[in-house]
Chain A
Amino acid sequence: MSGIEHPLQIVVGAGGVGKTTLAAAMALKHARAGERTMVMTFDPSLRLKDALGISEAEASEEVEVPVEGEGSLLVSLLDARRTFDRLVRNYAPNEEARERILSNRFYDHLSGALAGVLEYMASERLFEVSRSGRFDRIILDTPPAQQAIDFLKAPERITGFLDSGGVRIALKPWFDAKGRLRGTAKLGFLGRNVEAFFDHMIGLDLLRDMAEFFQAFAPLFDGFKQRAFEVQRLLRAPDTLFSMVSAPGPHRVADTLHFARRLEEAGHRLGPVIVNRVHPLPEGPVKATGGTREGVALLQWLAQREAEGIEALEDLLAGHHPVIRIPLLPEEPTNLDSLASLGEMISESFR
């Protein structure tokens, strides 16, 4: 095979399933195999930062992790606000527009509240980095979403939003010279009612502030939209492979399956489904006596139920995607070697 298979890997899954650690482990494994690797991550745990040797103090945007041999590993710490600020700086046509946005009192709240902004920013950054040609392989750990599907919807939501009335409205001044809601005036009596209603409901002042925010953003929208389109294409490119991480247990199967279907329906490539932190099944009969019976029996029960869940998942995925079991470890990786062996574990089961 020429070159590297799937230079872009995106790790998705619900919050709290261990995406960040697995993404770092995969990246380290590739770096140690000689590839120039970047892992883009949100909010890593202190333990993972320690394992990677990134202390709080030097948490800048990109940190190099020492790797022996030809390969290299850069960790990019993603922060929604920082990325948003940079985007404003890059796209704002001039100083004045930039200041207007950054000083708008809604910027703080809206930049976070606009649905999918964090997820969009992650893929936006992925696009930037993949364009740079600095890396053989990029692994993106997606932001902690309540549901794994949120990440995928983000670029569409942003482009949808940009195409929708929302932006058309933002692009035209909302309020006329008299400070009245435009568009309602020509509706006559009805328009005055609608306007009066909005004024009564939330106050026109609030609407004015929000409209100003969108207006200030207007010059950025064209660039945004073009990028969102290219990001979408990148997420569907043959180079891009999704890995899905799930918690074990039979009650997670439906969610995992649902997401796998949605991914494929949307034209993405789903590789392995990684079931993380699985309680291991004991080899052979277990002997436990006295006081230790309770704990050992609990672990056995969990292992049994989780194994049943994984079997059901495998049946339902019908061999289209390998299901990788990562056992619950006695502790989370605390250094580069234990992280790398976790990476090995993933790629070995992948083969």
Chain B
Amino acid sequence: MIAGRLEKLQLIVVTGKGGVGKSSVTAMLGRLLSGMRRKTLLIEVDPRENLHHLFDIPPSGGDVVEVDPFLKIQHLEPRSIIDDLVREKLKVGFLVKRVLASPVHQHFTAGAPGIKEAAVFGRALRWLEGHHPRGIETPECIILDAPATGHGVSWLLAAQLVSDVVKSGPIGEMAADVAAFLGDEARSGTVVVGMAEEMPVEETRELIEAMKTRMQRRPEFVVLNALYPPVPDEGTDSEADDFLHDLWIRRRQINESERARLAAVWEGPLLELPLLPMDPGPALVGRLGVELSRWLSRQASGRGGRG
């Protein structure tokens, strides 16, 4: 069922707090979709570029960069999208300059709450509909690695806020289109990433709750990343280094109890990804992809989502 969703969704928003591995999950999903031969674009909005490290390619610097024939990545500055919108709508060079230099634009158009977020989604939507610079293939799916600032849900709600306040004009229309798109279950979905530790689980619980009450939507699935490996049943090994062994057992117990705390509010599909002895890079993304594929086939055969 999830694999079916991943074959159809046009937009997947990967959200969660900083430091939980959102970029790795974004990269892993990108590889999966490209493996399905879906033309996929990964968009990164974080001020620091990360995604290219995971594929071992040069940074995007704002351009669309190819990872493989079906997978591309792009780093976006929200501000430049808004400026592009001005250029596109105004067309007359000296007026564009005037508007872009005007404090009204700098502090109000670009600074108004929610516009930045709405503009990123607006851009994604337009590209999916084929409105993009020449020489770029129309993506079939866009995966957004949402920035960690603020609450994950604020990104998803921004367009609605803008559309409530701005009723007309290109920004109002864009925001309304985006809000409808993000509300459309057939076209867009969210993947929430967390770790099985106290604060990340707390934040994940809040995010799921906020999506439910404020958007009437639920995540496609939730990822618990970087879990310590399960402790084997045969119990403690007297030969092993006691300290490392105890630390491992205790951290795994915390993972398990926090996973249970998450499960109390989330009954949907839960993908658990192991903590691995690997640096961020293509090998790690490949290994996580194997975990994802196994999990998807277990999901498909109805053997549950917990593990």
Residues of A within 8 A of B (CB): 14-17, 45-47, 106, 109-110, 112-114, 144-147, 161, 164-166, 168-169, 181, 190, 193-194, 197-203, 206-207, 209-211, 247, 250-251, 255, 279-280, 282-283, 286-292, 294-302, 305, 328, 330-332
Minimum CB–CB distance from A214 to chain B (whole Å) comes to 8
- Contacting residue for A305 out of B95, B231, B247, B279, CB 8 A: B279
CA–CA, A32 and B83, complex, Å: 55
Minimum CB–CB distance from A107 to chain B (whole Å) comes to 11
Chain B residues, Cβ within 8 Å of A145:
149
Chain B residues, Cβ within 8 Å of A295:
228-229, 231, 245, 248, 252
Q: Are A299 and B237 in contact (CB under 8 A)?
A: no
Q: Which of B42-85 contact A (CB under 8 A)?
A: 46-48, 53, 85
- Contacting residue for B99 out of A164, A197, A247, A300, CB 8 A: A197
Nearest B-chain residue to A298, judged by Cβ: B277
- Contacting residue for B113 out of A110, A302, A331, CB 8 A: A110
Chain B residues, Cβ within 8 Å of A200:
89, 169-170
CA–CA, A23 and B109, complex, Å: 39
CA–CA, A263 and B264, complex, Å: 43
Chain B residues, Cβ within 8 Å of A190:
95, 98
Nearest A-chain residue to B89, judged by Cβ: A201
B interface residues, how many (CB within 8 angstroms): 72
Instruction: Decide yes or no whether B232 CB sits under 8 A from chain A.
Output: yes
Instruction: Decide yes or no whether B30 CB sits under 8 A from chain A.
Output: no
Chain B residues, Cβ within 8 Å of A202:
108-109, 112, 115, 166, 169, 171-172
Binary A-proximity of B155-172 (CB < 8 A = 1, otherwise 0): 000000100011111111
Residues of B within 8 A of A (CB): 17-20, 46-48, 53, 85-86, 89-90, 92, 95, 98-99, 102-109, 111-115, 147-150, 161, 165-172, 198-200, 202, 228-229, 231-234, 236-237, 239-241, 243-248, 250-252, 254, 275-277, 279-280
Q: Are A201 and B250 in contact (CB under 8 A)?
A: no
CA–CA, A161 and B103, complex, Å: 11
Chain A facing B: main interface SS = helix
Minimum-distance CB pairs A-B, first 10: A291-B232, A165-B103, A301-B277, A330-B250, A109-B113, A16-B19, A113-B113, A15-B18, A166-B107, A292-B237
Q: Are B169 and A203 in contact (CB under 8 A)?
A: yes
Q: Are B103 and A169 in contact (CB under 8 A)?
A: yes
CA–CA, A110 and B165, complex, Å: 13
Q: Are B234 and A290 in contact (CB under 8 A)?
A: yes
- Contacting residue for B248 out of A17, A193, A299, CB 8 A: A299
Minimum CB–CB distance from B68 to chain A (whole Å) comes to 23
Nearest A-chain residue to B278, judged by Cβ: A301
Q: Are B89 and A328 in contact (CB under 8 A)?
A: no
Nearest A-chain residue to B96, judged by Cβ: A197
Extra contacts, 7 of them, besides A200-B169, A302-B277 (Cβ < 8 A), are: A164-B103, A169-B107, A282-B243, A287-B240, A291-B233, A292-B236, A294-B229
Minimum CB–CB distance from A292 to chain B (whole Å) comes to 4
Q: Are B169 and A199 in contact (CB under 8 A)?
A: yes
CA–CA, A190 and B99, complex, Å: 11
Minimum CB–CB distance from B156 to chain A (whole Å) comes to 15
Say yes or no: A16-B166 contact (C-beta < 8 A), given A280-B247, A286-B240: no
Q: Are B48 and A147 in contact (CB under 8 A)?
A: yes
Q: Are A288 and B240 in contact (CB under 8 A)?
A: yes
- Contacting residue for A292 out of B86, B105, B232, CB 8 A: B232
- Contacting residue for B199 out of A16, A289, A302, CB 8 A: A16
Q: Are A203 and B168 in contact (CB under 8 A)?
A: yes
Chain B residues, Cβ within 8 Å of A294:
229
| Listed A/B pairs (16) with beta-carbon separation below 8 Å | A15-B18, A46-B202, A166-B106, A181-B104, A197-B89, A200-B89, A202-B166, A203-B168, A210-B108, A250-B279, A251-B279, A283-B243, A288-B241, A292-B240, A295-B245, A332-B198
